[in-house]
Structure formats: structure tokens, C-alpha cells
A and B are shown apart, each in its own frame.
Chain A
């Protein structure tokens, strides 16, 4: 939970140089032979990273779009972005 609080006001940014291909509303991230497919709500979160929005703001957008409470959305967003950060796709 502290992890969630720590990241809530951080601004996540996509790492420069990451290969991105949009396919309808989904995204293929990285090289084709080991690309990560980001779909559905994950794609919505990824598309919301504009380098200005805080994690909390992204979670609010998710809560509005998918009708979930902001606390749950924040926890899910932080977990997802943490995974992306571990893979070098985003940075805080």
C-alpha cells in the first residue's frame, strides 16, 4: 500500500526510444520478435501517459472510464505501471 502512496503523485512517462505500434486501440511495445501486446484497460492506461498526468490523475481517468472506485483503480494502475517500469517501458 505504501508503494501505491509513493507513486500516486509521480508522473509516469514513456521511455524515449521504445518502439510503439498502435493497432486499433491496442499497442505492440518493443521489438516484433519479443513485443508486449497491451490491450483493453492496459491500453487505456498506456494511452493516458502523456508525460504530464500524475498516476492519481491516470487512475481517475480509469475510474471514470470503467466505473470502478478510485482506490482500486489507483492500486491497479500503480501495479501495471510498476511492471512497465521493470521492463524499461516507462519511467517515473
Chain B
């Protein structure tokens, strides 16, 4: 992030006494950490400590973990909105345990393994910018790589794609082509998410970044231009939607053929 040092990032937090005791790590996440930010982007920072930080000013967000919430502090500085989210070290352990190979092989339902906030948090470990505790971040990345997180994410996305394909087929059979077009678009989005997750590009709960994630992953199955042509309906013919719908559904299947879920 330009010439900004870790201390430059941490100074506004220190001034506001937002660095807790027992801190294990602090890291920048989101668009800034990926280099995808724009002049209106917020600054998002995660802080992990032994005990969950909570102050009177903290907002609590429920999570299916113990403790059953994470806390958030929001402030404005340097003409930016800063959002600092606090996790306990134990909560990170619990999320990693939810996506263990044991859990995967027991048949845990992929879409239910993690709440969106949990999946996004684990996904963000892969591309964060450590400010404190670089070793902690590296160890957690390594642990994540030994879990079935990738397989869970792929299976979830392919399952969602299958559901929309089924919807599109039914809508086509009923002659409801407008709905079928929308379902095909949804199916394609999830199929591409699976493809990107197969390449280690997670974060499919934020489809606004799909094009950027695609460019970062450069999957061999589709070129960016091929992907973008479908995403932006370049060959869609409103007078005859059926060929486009069938092409997209076949493409979803081609992607499923190529993405290894194991």
C-alpha cells in the first residue's frame, strides 16, 4: 500500500487505544490488501488476540463460534472510514476445525460448514497485509492450506451452480426464458467461483471482485475474454435466448468437469 509502513497503519489505532492486550496479529484485509482499492474504499483491519476485545464503543456481530460474537470498531481518519474487526485466537482455531478433512469426509454439508463472515475471514488470511504478528499469519495460512477449506468452497459453489442449472432447465421447459436467462447467469457465476476457488482465489461471497479474482487466478479452463463475454451477455440475443442459455449451462458443466474437488 504505497510507502505506508506498518506503524503508519497502526498509529490511528494506537491513538484510539484500539490495540488490545494479548494481541497475536493485526493485518489489513479487503481491497486495499489486494491492491484493488479505489478512492472510496474503506480501510479494513482484522485484529486477533488471546481474549476477544470488547469496549463500550464496540459493535457486536454474531458468529456461530465461542465467544458467539466478534466486535467491530469504526472511526474516521485520514479522510477514510476505518473498520477494525476483532477476533479471538480461539475463534480462528474453531473456524479451521470446521473445515478439517475429518469434517469434509464426514459429509458436512459444504454450504453449511462456515457462515459467510467465517469463510470471508479465512479467505482473507491468504491475501492480507500483516502489521503485527507476521509469523502468526504465516502459520495460520499454512494451517488453512492443510484443511479442506478449498474443497468445501468448491463443493459449495458447484452445488449452487447445479441448483441454478436445474432451475434454468425447468424454466426453459416451461417457456419462461427470461427467468432461465437469470438462472443461467447465476449458475455461471457460481461455476466460475468454483473454478477460482480451485485456483486458491476465495471470497466468492463478494461477487463484485469476481473479475479481479479471475485475473489473479488465470485459470486454464477459460480465458478472461471468454469469461467476460458471458458475464456481460456479449453474445446474448434477446430475439432468441435459447442458444445462449444452453451455451452457458454447457459451460457450467465443462467447468465442473475440470475443477478437482478432492
**Chain B: interface residue count, which band?**
10 to 19
Q: Are A23 and B260 in contact (CB under 8 A)?
A: yes
Shortest distance between the CB of A39 and any CB in chain B (Å): 13
Q: Could you name 10 residue pairs across A and B whose Cβ atoms are closer than 8 Å? A: A16-B165, A16-B249, A17-B169, A17-B249, A21-B155, A21-B256, A22-B260, A22-B262, A27-B257, A51-B250
- Let me know if A14 is at the binding interface, CB within 8 A: yes
- Let me know if B246 is at the binding interface, CB within 8 A: yes
Q: Which chain B residues border A50 with CB–CB below 8 Å? A: 254
Shortest distance between the CB of A18 and any CB in chain B (Å): 7
Shortest distance between the CB of A42 and any CB in chain B (Å): 14
Q: Are B261 and A22 in contact (CB under 8 A)?
A: yes
User: A16-B165, A22-B259 given. 12 additional CB < 8 A pairs?
Assistant: A16-B250, A19-B256, A20-B253, A20-B257, A21-B158, A22-B260, A23-B260, A23-B262, A24-B260, A47-B257, A50-B254, A51-B250
Q: Which chain A residues border B250 with CB–CB below 8 Å? A: 16, 51
Measured CA separation A18–B250 after assembly (Å): 10
Measured CA separation A51–B169 after assembly (Å): 18
Interface bits A22-62 vs B (CB < 8 Å: 1, else 0)? 11100100000000000000000001001100000000000
**Chain A: interface residue count, which band?**
10 to 19
Count of chain A to chain B residue pairs whose CB atoms are closer than 8 Å in the complex: 37
Q: Which chain A residues border B165 with CB–CB below 8 Å? A: 16-17
Q: Which chain A residues border B81 with CB–CB below 8 Å? A: none
Shortest distance between the CB of B169 and any CB in chain A (Å): 5
Q: Are B261 and A21 in contact (CB under 8 A)?
A: yes
Measured CA separation A61–B64 after assembly (Å): 51
User: Which B216-262 residues sit within 8 Å CB-CB of chain A?
Assistant: 246, 249-250, 253-254, 256-262
Residue from A17, A22, A24 in contact with B257 in the complex, judged by beta carbons closer than 8 Å: A22
8 smallest A-B Cβ distances: which pairs? Answer: A23-B262, A20-B256, A17-B169, A16-B249, A22-B260, A21-B261, A19-B162, A17-B165
Name, among A18, A22, A51, the residue most crowded by chain B CB atoms within 10 Å (CB to CB). A22
Q: Which chain A residues border B249 with CB–CB below 8 Å? A: 16-17
Q: Are A14 and B253 in contact (CB under 8 A)?
A: yes
Q: Which chain A residues border B155 with CB–CB below 8 Å? A: 21
User: Which B183-220 residues sit within 8 Å CB-CB of chain A?
Assistant: none
Residue from A17, A22, A24 in contact with B166 in the complex, judged by beta carbons closer than 8 Å: A17
Interface bits A45-88 vs B (CB < 8 Å: 1, else 0)? 00100110000000000000000000000000000000000000
Q: Are A16 and B261 in contact (CB under 8 A)?
A: no
Shortest distance between the CB of B180 and any CB in chain A (Å): 12
